[in-house]
Amino acid sequence: MKVNSFFTLALLLVALVSCEAQKKGSDSKVNITSLKPPTGKAIAAFAEGCFWCSEHIFEAVVGIDSAVSGYAGGTTKNPTYELVNTETTGHAETVLVYYDPKVISYEELTQVFFTSHDPTTKDRQGPDHGSSYRSILFYLTAEEKAIAEKSLESFEKSGLYKNPIVSEIKKLTEFYRAEGYHQDFIEHNPNQSYVRGVSIPRFELFKRTYKGNLK
């Protein structure tokens, strides 16, 4: 079964409120984080729809120390969730991944990216729609850009998706940490309706599709 078909079936079977509707209710300030990783570690960033799901997925992969939910790819300084949700800031919900490059490579992270969401739906993931849910492969160096382009081309030819991939490849210049209640959301809210209806099925599909090592 192609990944697209699974997502469509899952969404038809479950009546859900959208991710943005579940995220209301916080006035937390958002601060920009340093893009300098700890000694011996590296960072990478990916936007692939609801960051609750993405954070949970990336943190399950061997070699990844942690993932932080936030916003990247836009032009507005110090965005809040409420502002990003207006779809006027240019930001996408993004996870900043801290990883050990001796254990997992940036190239392998792109494999996680392409197997953990549907990269063929423009400005949409499942029930969530708008530019803040678009698919973006961020890079920090020219080498990473080349890797991202090669990975996209490889998945385009793989036959995994029946429609063309629309993921952007974009340089990461800054990242804004999301409000505290978004961090480790699935861990703290395992029975929340969106988590049970969308996030967990997406995670289970990823585990069946991804060929790398999971914790």
Based on the residue annotation, tell me whether 19 is a catalytic residue of this protein. no
Other CB atoms within a 10 A radius of the CB of residue 177 amount to 18
| Pairing mode of beta strands 42-48, 135-139 | antiparallel
Which residues, other chains included, contact 181 with Cβ-Cβ below 8 Å and sequence gap of 6+? 26, 28
Please state, in angstroms and rounded to a whole number, the distance separating the CA atoms of residues 52 and 31: 19
Other CB atoms within a 10 A radius of the CB of residue 78 amount to 11
| Active-site residue (options: 50, 64, 172, 178) | 50
CB 183 within 8 A of CB 68: yes
Indicate which residues carry an active-site annotation: 50
